[in-house]
Amino acid sequence: MSKTLAKTHSLAESAVMLALSIALFAVSDAIPWPYAYGGGFSLFGQVPIIIISYRHGIKNGLIASTGLALFEMLMGFKNFSYVNGIVAWLIVAFADYIIAFGCLGLGGIFKGRLKKQTAELIAGGLVVCIIRFICHFISGVTIWAGYAPENMLVGVYSFIYNGSYMLIETIITIIGLFAVSAVFNFSKKNLG
């Protein structure tokens, strides 16, 4: 495969996977999860981005995950109306969206390091879920602290609130990565 054809193949596959991820997040966003102040989990929405990073490298993964982050920010744009000031706006933009979803592009960081595709995908999935949780936790203790119950420490509230949906997101992501890893060999150029 020529270099130009390989780049075109990578770009096309990445575009399809990004579209799949956006569709999975959009469907999940339409479901009324029991999270009064935002958050929630997707139905395997992170999996396609992690696969892009694993198959086509972290650079391509980060480009795709930035596209997903921008989509999620547009879908959650109403959240910006609850904060005042540029600093608060930037924390919401970066901690809840750009970094939180952008980190999914790091999902391929273990490729070639653990010698088994399934282990590499799951390890990458765990790392990005932890980073995403940390982002939402930081946002919870800085921007959304006013939503914590009076008798609860803000850090505990943010940990429980964000941890509850991120734990479910992590489990769903790991199940999805395990399943696709059992079916596809992502080191092959063509998955067919």
Compute the CA torsion angle 84, 90, 95, 100 (nearest 10 deg): 130
Which CATH number goes with the domain that contains 107? 1.10.1760.20
Domain annotation covers residue 82 = yes
User: For the chain, what is the domain count?
Assistant: 1
Full-model pTM: 0.93
Compute the CA torsion angle 114, 118, 166, 21 (nearest 10 deg): 120
Q: What is the pLDDT of residues 55-106, one digit of tens each?
A: 999 999 999 999 999 999 999 898 898 899 999 999 999 999 999 999 999 9
Domain annotation covers residue 52 = yes
Residue 69 · residue 95 · CB < 8 Å? no
Domain annotation covers residue 192 = no
Domain annotation covers residue 91 = yes
- pLDDT at res. 24: 95
Q: Say whether pLDDT at 21 is over 90.
A: yes
Domain that holds residue 84: 3-30+37-183
Domain annotation covers residue 189 = no
Domain annotation covers residue 125 = yes
- pLDDT band at residue 189 under the 50/70/90 scheme: confident
- pLDDT at res. 140: 95
